[in-house]
Amino acid sequence: MSQQQILLKNPESKSETSIDFIQLKKAALTLRALNHKLRLQIIKLIDEKQKLTVTEIYIKLRIEQSVASQHLAILRRANIVDTQREGKFIYYTLNYARIDEINGFVGDLLK
């Protein structure tokens, strides 16, 4: 057992559960990626248009290019958006399978 994990022993059921803090942190970052007003606006916009460049996103949302790029990077790290290169343009699309996974996880968490 590493320092990044702890083992919990349930005295009633005699079962053991380990908590992996690295995985827990990654999961928290994924949820945090969705829990932001501007990122939700970006997701909604991409959903409406199906694919957009960073230029189209920052123009439509009236934000700075650097701000749009930073938020898209967070969504990309969480695997919520995908990129597709077409010539000199990079288009952002939604990873609907990943969003469904996250929604399922959140639903299970709230049971």
The whole-number pLDDT of residue 18 equals 87
Q: How many CA atoms lie within 13 A of 104 on its CB side?
A: 6
Q: For residue 30, what are the domain limits?
A: 26-110
In a domain, 99, yes or no: yes
In a domain, 59, yes or no: yes
In a domain, 83, yes or no: yes
In a domain, 11, yes or no: no
Looking up residue 86, the CATH number of its domain turns out to be 1.10.10.10
Q: C-alpha distances in angstroms, 81 versus 4, 13, 40?
A: 29, 41, 12
In a domain, 16, yes or no: no
Mean of pLDDT over the chain: 94
CA–CA separation, 93 and 84 (whole Å): 8
pLDDT (tens digit, 9 = 90+) per residue, 27-53?
A: 999 999 999 999 999 999 999 999 999
Residue 76 exposed, middle or buried by CB count within 10 Å (0-12, 13-18, 19+): middle
In a domain, 12, yes or no: no
- Residue 73 pLDDT greater than 70, yes or no: yes
In a domain, 87, yes or no: yes
What is the number of structural domains in the chain? 1
pTM of the model: 0.85
